[in-house]
């Protein structure tokens, strides 16, 4: 197993900001964290707790201790320095784009679009499923679920499947938007978390006539495509926001109980599980004999499909791994959270090709076309890290920015920018924004 961790330093700044109060701020260059407030200095037995570090300060102005993050325990030694931390800067291209057309919905768009026969289908937090004409953005039909939609649709055999926050998985006619069947996934006894950092949604996938979907009621469901009847369910100990992956005879899915599960796709019987030591929001990604998954413990794991044993681990250093990534031409492109980075890695070894700072949380997945890498960027209002919302086009070979479309904060919303994974088709780049608008750009 190889562990990829190129962090060389943590910078801790201690400020006297009140009577008998010493506040602690962290700079972690690897995670692009600058002056992040970590609390106060608190005596603990014969040691001191300084933010995430528990250790001893000695007479030589050194701090020797342990850095704690989720279940990580990393030995550290800090030395007094006059070095002043520097904020990371986005390398702006100076080029902006104007959309070819837009369509306004009634809610933020977290859902990623899917397309068939020039119909673009996606959901909105206004509770509606929309079908638009790709060429001009005209509304073809809409279906109201009555509850916010954050997951992405599945288009298969002339139908659309999509999960609403009311717990119903709907199957609709692609041509008309009329309902074929619905399946209830949500147990009424389960309280759904409304945190903007937890309120994501699993999306349906299909394999050999069976639809697989995770649920906020802790279950992974297998549902008959034609009848909407349950075949089996597999129960975890946490909400499932992760979208399942079917590969050969296994279904892989992450849970907010910290585990990645491999279950038999026909029976739902557990094959193996792997403890990531943090909630899993991202979705598993297949590459050769590996399944790649990120965790909120800030590690990206590549696990052997047959055993769940780690092949390599790449550390994001306190930055959650929310993005699932894509693999193109044996390169893994994947976003990050606090660090504001998009990474290009070797999926076989975890070696880093390049890192690009995009100025905000790249929570969604990028899209690739003609050596262009398109990614949404989410900004957060009032956060300790200055994140801005945007949609960005990067050079896939180098990570250099080609152009961007910037967003302003949305009134009464904590987040702004783009979470939706873009769809690239026939020279068009299509995605939804947290400003309630669906966008079409020319490449």
Looking at 47-88, which runs of residues are DSSP E strands?
A: 47-50, 53-57, 62-69, 72-79
**In the chain, % of residues over pLDDT 70:** 92
| Global confidence as pTM | 0.92
- Whole-angstrom Cα Rg for the chain: 22
Tokens of 187: 């147990």
| Averaged confidence pLDDT in the chain | 90
Whole-angstrom Cα distance, residue 345 to residue 184? 39
Of the pLDDT bands very low, low, confident and very high (cuts 50, 70, 90), residue 96 is confident
Whole-angstrom Cα distance, residue 420 to residue 179? 25
Lowest mean pLDDT among 42-51, 167-176, 200-209, 386-395: 42-51
pLDDT of 180 over the 80 cut: yes
Burial 227-260 (b: 16+ CB within 10 A, else e): ebeebbebebeebbbbbbbbeeebbbbbbbbbbb
The per-residue pLDDT for range 272-320, each reduced to its tens digit, is 999 999 999 999 999 999 999 999 999 999 999 999 999 999 999 889 9
The per-residue pLDDT for range 372-421, each reduced to its tens digit, is 999 999 999 988 788 899 999 999 999 999 999 999 998 788 899 999 99
Q: Locate the domains of the chain by residue range.
A: 2-79, 325-443
Whether 269 and 296 have beta carbons less than 8 Å apart is answered as: no
pLDDT of 165 over the 80 cut: yes
Q: Among 3.40.50.1820, 3.10.20.30, 2.40.128.630, 2.40.50.100, name the CATH number for the domain at 325-443.
A: 2.40.128.630
The per-residue pLDDT for range 313-353, each reduced to its tens digit, is 999 988 999 999 999 999 999 999 999 999 999 999 999 99
Lowest mean pLDDT among 83-97, 131-145, 158-172, 196-210: 83-97
Task: Compare 411 and 180 and report the one with higher pLDDT.
Answer: 180
The per-residue pLDDT for range 134-152, each reduced to its tens digit, is 999 999 999 999 999 999 9
């Amino acid at each position: 197993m190889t562990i990829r961790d190129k962090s060389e330093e943590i910078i801790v700044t201690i400020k006297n900001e009140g009577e008998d109060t010493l506040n602690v701020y962290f700079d972690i260059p690897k995670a692009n964290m600058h002056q992040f407030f970590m609390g106060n200095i608190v005596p603990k037995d014969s040691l001191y707790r300084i933010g995430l570090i528990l250790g001893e300060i000695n007479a030589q102005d050194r701090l020797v201790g342990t850095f704690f993050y989720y279940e990580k325990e990393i030995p550290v030694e800090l030395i007094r320095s006059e070095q002043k931390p520097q904020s990371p800067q986005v390398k702006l291209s100076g080029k902006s784009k104007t959309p070819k057309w837009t369509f306004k919905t009634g809610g933020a768009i977290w859902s990623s679009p899917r397309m068939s026969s020039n119909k673009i289908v996606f959901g909105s937090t206004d509770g509606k499923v929309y079908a638009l004409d790709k060429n001009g953005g005209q509304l073809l039909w809409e279906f109201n679920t009555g509850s916010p939609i954050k997951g992405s649709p599945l288009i298969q055999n002339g139908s659309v499947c999509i999960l609403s926050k009311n717990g119903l998985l709907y199957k609709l006619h692609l041509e008309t938007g009329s309902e074929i069947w619905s399946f209830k996934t949500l147990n009424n006894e389960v309280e759904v978390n409304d945190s903007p950092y937890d309120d994501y949604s699993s999306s349906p996938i299909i394999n050999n006539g069976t639809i697989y979907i995770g649920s906020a009621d802790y279950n992974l469901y297998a549902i008959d495509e034609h009848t909407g009847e349950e075949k089996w369910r597999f129960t975890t100990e946490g909400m499932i926001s992760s979208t399942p992956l079917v590969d050969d005879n296994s279904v892989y899915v992450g849970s907010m109980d910290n585990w990645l599960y491999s279950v038999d796709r026909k029976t739902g019987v557990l094959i193996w599980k792997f403890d990531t030591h943090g909630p899993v929001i991202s979705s598993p990604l297949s590459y050769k004999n590996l399944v790649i998954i990120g965790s909120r413990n800030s590690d990206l794991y590549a696990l052997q499909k047959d055993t769940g044993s780690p092949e390599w681990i790449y550390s994001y250093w306190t930055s959650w791994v929310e993005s699932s990534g894509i693999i193109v031409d044996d390169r893994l492109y994947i976003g990050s959270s606090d660090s504001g980075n998009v990474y290009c890695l070797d999926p076989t070894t975890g070696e880093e090709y390049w890192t690009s700072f995009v100025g905000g949380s790249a929570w969604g997945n990028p899209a690739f076309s003609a050596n262009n890498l398109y990614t949404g960027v989410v900004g957060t209002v009032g956060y300790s890290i200055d994140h801005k919302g945007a949609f960005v086009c990067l050079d896939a070979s180098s990570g250099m920015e080609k152009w961007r479309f910037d967003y302003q904060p949305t009134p009464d919303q904590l987040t702004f920018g783009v979470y939706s994974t873009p769809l690239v088709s026939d020279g068009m780049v299509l995605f939804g924004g947290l400003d309630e608008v669906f966008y079409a750009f020319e490449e």
